[in-house]
Amino acid sequence: MNITASTTVASIATEHPLATRVFARHRIDFCCAGQRPVSEICSEKGINVDQLVAEIQAELARAPETVERWDAASTPDLIAHILAAYHVPLKEELPRLESMARKVHRVHFDKAPEKFEAMLTTFLAIQSEIDGHLVEEEELLFPAMLSGSFDAATSPMAKIEAEHDVLGRLLEKLRAAAGDFVVPEEACNTWRSLWVGLEDLERAIHEHVHLENNILHPRFG
């Protein structure tokens, strides 16, 4: 793929999955806002587009010979991957993160009340959104897609994409509340683990949404 200033972020992420590492480093939305040209996003963020492309090419040069291309996978295989790589881990990870978030909020609240209240409130909103989201996908959207029913998939797909936008905004709010997940020197082990876990959660959701918005859903759009 010849990456140019007019290439969309979503197409880069789709054809070169490892490019998402670069996007994550620069906090470039490649999922919900992925249909925008890379030059437009770079202009907004004050990033030199040529340097970004060079960084992506360097990442790809270090890549192993074979990298999974999910745009080339069948719909059943792609859905199976989404379930195994994201749904199952989320169901295990969210309760663990909730426990740590509540503990950090309780123990360190007096250090920065507004910050820790925003962190906990936003995380719980994300958790609630994801819990319902996974059920909708597993019970409505994915079965419709696997049956090949375009009409049955249309309505839940539109709702799912609207929920993706909500999740994107909540993740931005969570990152702001957590100070970009930079761990302060005085942080205890739970606080450190929580910040790492929340940043991993952000990455996983971005990847999850990208696979759906930019690869799976367009097959039924």
pLDDT tens for the 221 residues of the chain, in order? 688 888 999 999 998 888 888 998 898 988 888 889 999 999 999 999 999 999 988 888 886 666 778 999 999 999 999 999 999 999 999 999 999 999 999 999 999 999 999 999 999 999 999 999 999 999 999 999 999 877 778 888 989 999 999 999 999 999 999 999 999 888 999 999 999 999 999 999 999 999 999 999 999 87
- Category of 37 on φ-ψ map: left (φ > 0), alpha (ψ -120 to 50) or beta: beta
Alpha-carbon distance 153 to 151, whole Å?
5
Quick one: pLDDT at residue 150? 77
For residue 69, what pLDDT is reported?
85
CA distance 31 to 13: 9
- Helix/strand/coil for 100: helix
Token pair, residue 36, equals 């925008």
* Beta partners for residue 37, in sequence order: 8
User: What does the alpha-carbon distance between residue 145 and residue 77 come to, in Å, rounded to a whole number?
Assistant: 12
| DSSP H helical ranges for 67-215 | 75-82, 88-108, 113-136, 142-146, 150-177, 189-210
Per-residue tokens: 124: 């719980």
pLDDT at 196: 94
